[in-house]
């Protein structure tokens, strides 16, 4: 079955899908995006993803490419046309196509919309849950508005490539005070020795992860102690457990940081408990019924 992409009003075969060379996303990274998980034929936490997209667009004074009802319809349609039951849907909005000039184009310039969907194997995520992953740390070198989910991801690309070259799955950005910010494409968490979940406050310094928000709801349902505060690399290395969250991976245990084991080097029980509760906590938007 060939994959289908949505590009500015048309559903086109994925291998022929293209945008204009003067799309501002291509020339200036002048665009924003969202990635939603699809699990068992449902889009997960779509309302939260759309709220965050709305915030990203308004922070950058960018218009919605189509109205919200049409938008939701197109997202579902791309999932259905690709027959994705487990995987992800990728949504990208840019400030549109215009003669290259840094300042905003004419107000009549339409935002550009690209949506793709692809399948993934849930067994791979399950395996990572059992084995856990390693992370490395890198100095923060991004701009200070990483709360806006822009397509300008070069520092994240470089950091994640470095992690891969060192046999790790993620790179944690660390601020000038030695405090962990977040991963290249995930939020960072620890569980302290007394069982308290800790993650950095979602101010301008990190992306307001949707999985992070739902994991906080899950922690509250389970009655787990929870603190929103920065934690250091040292504290993370000495933690009882550590894990990362993202729509693409949900919760994955972190078993080593810069090559040093976290606790006994095995995934912990609180991470597993939280991941199970997460599944019960999410909003599910049906695509196929």
* Contacting residue, 116, 150, 187, 199, with ligand PLP by CB under 6 A: 187
> Which residues form the catalytic set?
149
Comparing CA positions, the residue from 264, 245, 228, 237 lying closest to residue 178 is: 237
**Residue 111 or 187: which CB sits closer to ligand PLP?**
187
CA distance 189 to 191: 7
Terminal-to-terminal C-alpha distance of the chain? 21
Q: C-beta of 133: minimal distance to ligand PLP in Å? A: 15
Q: Does 247 bind ligand PLP (CB under 6 A)?
A: yes
Q: C-beta of 279: minimal distance to ligand PLP in Å? A: 15
Q: C-beta of 243: minimal distance to ligand PLP in Å? A: 12
Q: Which residues contact 175 (CB under 8 A, 6 or more apart)?
A: 140, 181, 205, 230
Q: Does 56 bind ligand PLP (CB under 6 A)?
A: no
- From the list 66-74, 205-213, 216-224, 228-236, the region that binds ligand PLP by CB under 6 A is 205-213
CA distance 83 to 41: 9
* Contacting residue, 23, 30, 140, 182, with ligand PLP by CB under 6 A: 182
Residue 25, Cβ density class (10 Å: 0-12 exposed, 13-18 middle, ≥19 buried): buried
Q: Does 38 bind ligand PLP (CB under 6 A)?
A: no
**Residue 48 or 240: which CB sits closer to ligand PLP?**
48
DSSP 225: -
Q: Does 140 bind ligand PLP (CB under 6 A)?
A: no
Q: C-beta of 189: minimal distance to ligand PLP in Å? A: 11
Could you tell me which residues are beta bridge partners of residue 197?
191, 226
Q: Does 31 bind ligand PLP (CB under 6 A)?
A: no
Q: C-beta of 223: minimal distance to ligand PLP in Å? A: 23
**Residue 50 or 210: which CB sits closer to ligand PLP?**
210
CA distance 60 to 17: 26
3-state secondary structure of 257: strand
CA distance 80 to 41: 9
Q: Does 186 bind ligand PLP (CB under 6 A)?
A: yes
Q: How many residues bind ligand PLP (CB under 6 A)?
A: 13
Q: Does 212 bind ligand PLP (CB under 6 A)?
A: yes
Q: Does 87 bind ligand PLP (CB under 6 A)?
A: no
What values do phi and psi take at 232, rounded to 5? Answer: -90, 165
3-state secondary structure of 50: helix
Interacting residues with ligand PLP (CB under 6 A):
35, 182, 185-187, 207, 209-212, 245-247
């Amino acid at each position: 079955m060939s994959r289908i992409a949505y590009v500015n009003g048309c559903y086109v075969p994925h291998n022929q899908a293209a945008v204009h060379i003067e799309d501002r996303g291509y020339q200036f990274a002048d665009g924003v995006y969202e990635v939603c998980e699809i699990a068992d034929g449902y889009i997960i936490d779509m309302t939260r993803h759309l709220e965050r997209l709305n915030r990203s667009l308004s922070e950058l004074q960018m218009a919605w490419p189509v109205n919200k009802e049409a938008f939701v319809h197109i997202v579902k349609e791309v999932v259905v046309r690709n027959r994705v039951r487990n995987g992800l849907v990728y949504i990208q909005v840019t400030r549109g196509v215009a003669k290259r000039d840094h300042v905003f184009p004419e107000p009549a310039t339409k935002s550009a919309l690209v949506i793709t969907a692809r399948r993934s194997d849930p067994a791979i995520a399950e395996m990572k849950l059992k084995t856990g992953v390693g992370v490395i740390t890198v100095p923060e070198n991004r701009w200070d508005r990483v709360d806006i989910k822009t397509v300008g991801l070069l520092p994240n690309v470089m950091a994640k490539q470095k992690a891969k070259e060192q046999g790790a799955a993620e790179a944690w950005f660390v601020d000038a005070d030695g405090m962990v910010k977040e991963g290249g494409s995930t939020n960072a968490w620890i569980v302290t020795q007394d069982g308290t979940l800790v993650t950095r406050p979602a101010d301008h310094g990190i992306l307001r992860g949707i999985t992070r928000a739902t994991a906080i709801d899950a922690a509250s349902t389970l009655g787990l102690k929870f603190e929103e505060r920065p934690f250091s690399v040292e504290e993370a290395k000495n933690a009882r457990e550590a894990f990362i969250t993202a729509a693409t991976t949900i919760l994955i245990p972190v078993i080593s940081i810069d090559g040093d084991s976290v606790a006994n080097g095995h995934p912990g029980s609180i991470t597993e408990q939280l991941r199970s509760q997460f599944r019960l906590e999410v909003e599910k938007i049906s695509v196929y019924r």
